[in-house]
Amino acid sequence: MTSLYYDCFAGISGDMHLGALLDLGVEAAALHAGLDRLALEGFRLRIAPNRRGGIAGTRAEVVLAAGTERPARSLAAVRGLLEGSGLSQRVAAFSLEVFERLAAAEAKVHGIPVEQVHFHEVGAVDALVDVVGAAICLEQLGWPTVIGSVVELGSGVVDCAHGRLPVPAPATLELLRDVPTRRGGMPFEATTPTGAAILTTAAERFETQGDLVPRRVGYGVGHRHGPLPNLLRVLIAEPIPARREALSLLECNIDDMSPEFYPHLLDRLLAGNAGDAWMTPLVMKKGRPGILVSVLCEERHESALIRLLFAETTTLGVRRGRVSRTALERTVRRLETPYGPVPVKITVRPDGSRRAKPEYEACRSIALERNLPLWTVYRELERLLEENDGS
């Protein structure tokens, strides 16, 4: 599934967000057509190429006509404006959710009911264009999954209707509760309340970019200059069909146990929540042959499996270590066959192709029940899988 990854290394604001999505390829005409449905007057959205720190991007700026009033609309007024706009249901719903988040944050910070919040802090026209424009752009992109990065907040102070406040603005910090952030990368307000509200409404989760494959990059240019380019970087990306797992590796050396007990030991380990277990021949001290028993498991199963190793083997000690495993995405489905339903494991390779393989034990059971060679069963199932394209 295609995702948008928001790399907020220099923060995020409403105008930077619009610029980034336009830079990704959203048609300006579609954005203008959607905004026209709001029936707002006295502004124009200026869209132009720009750059920061030598990096080219798109600047989207709301320009108010001279003498245009900036009414401090309440949440109820914003809701009425959206409901009567003719925008698609999802665009209107997303936009309203952003404003509800903004209102809830402002209400908590100032200790007032949500109904008393008016959006003078962010500028009524500016905020409506930024928020509704964000929803229009996301719809144009097909409402992809949004993933956020660590968010740069900036530093210094910000002037608002309530006076001078420290960065981040209290409403911004409230909106970014439970979101990974950092401070001090920019000597000004890097993330605004509007940007924070858009991001936290859109984002499904926040993480590093490591498990994504970038396909296209867009840069939204801000209006400030700092030690880092004032840009929001948004990537169209696809997930790597693999997951990284932190696992425990348990090991012990054995040189004085009857070999006939080893199959029983492996069965017990696998039944006891080991992800995998195996044995490797060793030549130990004094030239004695031995066996290395290895167990891969989740950390929460360590203690139980160590107790099992002590109970079922002659070992005097168990080594523990942490390993990282990259595992391909795997699912199991049932394939309808002349032998009845058979479980098939589907693996997705890094290039997106799939590999399908029938479960061995199911094939073996069919072969024994029908007195067929095992390879005959496998060949028939592989033929059926090929007809189904392995999906």
What is the SS3 string spanning 21-68? HHHHCCCHHHHHHHHHCCCCCCEEEEEEEEEECCEEEEEEEEEECCCC
229 touches 55 (CB < 8 A): yes
Q: Which of 239, 273, 289 is the last residue of a domain?
A: 239
pLDDT at 311 > cutoff 80: yes
In a domain, 281, yes or no: yes
CA distance 109 to 119: 14
| Per-residue pLDDT band at 349 (split at 50, 70, 90) | confident
Same domain, 176 and 308: no
- The single residue listed with the structure tokens 């029940």 is 369
Same domain, 79 and 143: yes
Model pLDDT for residues 217-268, shown as the tens digit of each residue? 999 999 999 999 999 999 999 877 667 788 999 999 999 999 999 999 999 9
Which pLDDT value is given to residue 118?
75
Which pLDDT value is given to residue 354?
79
Query: Shortest CA distance to 219 belongs to which of 27, 1, 50, 390?
Result: 50
Model pLDDT for residues 9-42, shown as the tens digit of each residue? 999 999 999 999 999 999 999 999 999 998 888 8
In a domain, 332, yes or no: no
Same domain, 344 and 277: no
In a domain, 131, yes or no: yes
Which pLDDT value is given to residue 355?
86
3 state DSSP class of 330 = strand
Which pLDDT value is given to residue 329?
74
Same domain, 194 and 308: no
Which pLDDT value is given to residue 213?
81
Give the mean pLDDT of 281-303: 94
Region of poorest pLDDT, from 165-169, 260-264, 319-323: 165-169
| Per-residue pLDDT band at 73 (split at 50, 70, 90) | confident
Same domain, 219 and 298: no
Higher local confidence (pLDDT), 29 or 110: 29
For residue 259, the domain's CATH number is: 3.30.70.1380
In a domain, 209, yes or no: yes
CA distance 136 to 94: 9
| Per-residue pLDDT band at 389 (split at 50, 70, 90) | low
Same domain, 322 and 256: yes
Average pLDDT taken over every residue of the chain: 90
Q: First vs last Cα of the chain: how many Å apart?
A: 16
Which pLDDT value is given to residue 74?
86
Q: Which of 327, 346, 365 is the last residue of a domain?
A: 327
Give the mean pLDDT of 156-168: 83
Q: Which of 239, 269, 297 is the last residue of a domain?
A: 239
Same domain, 21 and 92: yes
Same domain, 268 and 366: no
In a domain, 333, yes or no: no
Same domain, 321 and 380: no
Which pLDDT value is given to residue 122?
44
Same domain, 70 and 135: yes
Model pLDDT for residues 76-90, shown as the tens digit of each residue? 889 999 999 999 999
Which pLDDT value is given to residue 351?
66
Same domain, 154 and 272: no
pLDDT at 68 > cutoff 70: no
In a domain, 376, yes or no: yes
pLDDT at 390 > cutoff 90: no
In a domain, 202, yes or no: yes
* Domain hosting residue 256, numbered range: 243-327
Same domain, 65 and 174: yes
Domain count of the chain? Answer: 3
Which pLDDT value is given to residue 262?
96
CA distance 177 to 171: 10
